[in-house]
Amino acid sequence: DRRATLILTLTLCNLRKTELSKAAKVFEMFETQIHHFETRRAKKPKNSADDLDIFVECEVHSADVSILITSLKRVAEDVKTSREDKVPWFPRKIQDLDKCHHLITKYDPSLDHGHPGYTDLEYKKRRAFFADLAFNYRAGDPLPLIEYTAQETATWREVYRKLSSLYPTHACTQYLDAFQQLEKYCGYQEDNIPQLQDVSRFLKGQTGFQLRPAAGLLSARDFLASLAFRVFQSTQYIRHFSSPMHSPEPDCCHELLGHVPMLADKEFAQFSQDIGLASLGSSEAEIEKLATLYWFTVEFGLCKQNGSIKAYGAGLLSSYGELMYALSNKPEYKPFDPEMAAVHPYQDQAFQPVYFIVENLEDAKAKLQNYAMKIKKPFSLRYDPFTSNIEVMNTPQKVKRALHQMKEELKNLCLALENLS
């Protein structure tokens, strides 16, 4: 039911040939609500002095925007538009994540001249294979099983061996505990690239998170939306063999060594889901701030533990060079403040000059929740873990139903406390 407001300008030529009525029929066909309609003689007539410039402000179903514009282009010239969604579309059920696959292609090996695999046709062909798997995946399908090549496994081995030597001294305890479990149950070892199916099953049992395949670097809106459902979109391809210690884009080394172990921690899983929930229906400006917050926490976050500074961010835990650098005396440290972190400049192709340090993950979660409450939206949302759906709390009945469920849960907890005493 989402509606979009459109500002349209177009030119109708040879009005005697009923172009105006044709254009009117297009608007009628898509049940367009017209708020303002203005005509004037064309400034630059193409065919005759009867050419007409038209300005329209209207409202239409968001799903019809593209086809409306295409239809107008058949009966008019110079059709131009700008749009303002009243509420940007967001997924309501886990199956809607099938639509959340829009890629940011600036680091794609086929387009980025600086990518290590840019001139490697075999590598680009292999990447196309992985992209097809991800684009054809649908919620509920088994996760694709990959037969990795000897070269891919050799790249993984080099990365795994080097990074795992740093973890005992540089990674936070939550990461180390989970990493040990992943080695035990999910085939984490230097001669084996773990399969998403095994890892997803493990995460589901730990925190309710699950994986789905991604073709590459996703748009911030699509990626964050997935987190709201406790779904992490994970690439399955591996970085180019010529550059094992650095990848300009996410790959399975980054996902499996950086993100997955932390997603097995309950506090961190809730923190990740909270960022996702905050993103749903947010404006582009708010999405940019949330993506920056994600960058300085989930990707490059540091925390205090036992009087030391440790890493919990995936960008650090999957980069040998930056993990060493981040815990040296070279960068600047700042205490984590969501308001500040959300607008702080960052580097996506160099080491960060500044890192934000959280007191602990629970404190970071509380600060994020306070930040998210200030994001202005015309509705409140609630995630239903039983159905994996997002409920828009837009009626008193829905709020009452949620409160009733909470009361039932509180009764059970009170009973549990009584039994313990």
Tens digits of pLDDT across the chain (421 residues): 577 888 899 888 866 556 778 888 889 988 899 988 888 887 776 666 678 888 898 888 888 888 888 889 888 888 988 765 567 889 999 999 999 998 888 788 888 888 999 999 999 999 999 999 999 999 999 999 999 999 999 999 999 999 999 999 999 999 999 999 999 999 999 999 999 999 999 999 999 999 999 999 999 999 999 999 999 999 999 999 999 998 889 999 999 999 999 999 999 999 999 999 999 999 888 999 999 999 999 999 999 999 999 999 999 999 999 999 999 999 999 999 999 999 999 888 889 999 999 999 999 999 999 999 999 888 899 999 999 999 998 888 889 999 999 999 999 999 999 999 8
The first and second tokens of residue 305, run together, are 């533990």
The first and second tokens of residue 372, run together, are 């998210």
User: Of these residues, 259, 272, 282, 319, which one is catalytic?
Assistant: 259
Specify the pLDDT at position 44.
Answer: 73
Q: How many CA atoms lie within 13 A of 23 on its CB side?
A: 27
Q: Is 259 a catalytic residue?
A: yes
Specify the pLDDT at position 85.
Answer: 56
CA dist 408 and 389 (Å) reads 20
Q: Chain-centre distance of CA 391, in angstroms?
A: 19
Specify the pLDDT at position 11.
Answer: 87
Q: Which helix (H) or strand (E) holds 60?
A: strand 52-61
Calculate the alpha carbon distances from 371 to 36, 157, 286 in Å.
38, 40, 11
Q: Is 318 a catalytic residue?
A: yes
Specify the pLDDT at position 178.
Answer: 98
Is residue 210 within 8 Å of residue 199, measured between CB atoms?
Answer: no
pTM: 0.80
User: Of these residues, 152, 249, 255, 299, which one is catalytic?
Assistant: 299
Q: Is 254 a catalytic residue?
A: yes
Q: Is 113 a catalytic residue?
A: no
CA dist 260 and 265 (Å) reads 9
Count other Cβ atoms within 10 Å, centred on residue 349: 8
Task: Provide φ and ψ at 98, rounded to 5°.
Answer: -60, -20
Q: How many CA atoms lie within 13 A of 102 on its CB side?
A: 8
Specify the pLDDT at position 349.
Answer: 81
User: Of these residues, 115, 318, 319, 322, which one is catalytic?
Assistant: 318
Specify the pLDDT at position 257.
Answer: 98
User: Of these residues, 254, 272, 286, 322, which one is catalytic?
Assistant: 254
Specify the pLDDT at position 206.
Answer: 98
CA dist 243 and 291 (Å) reads 27
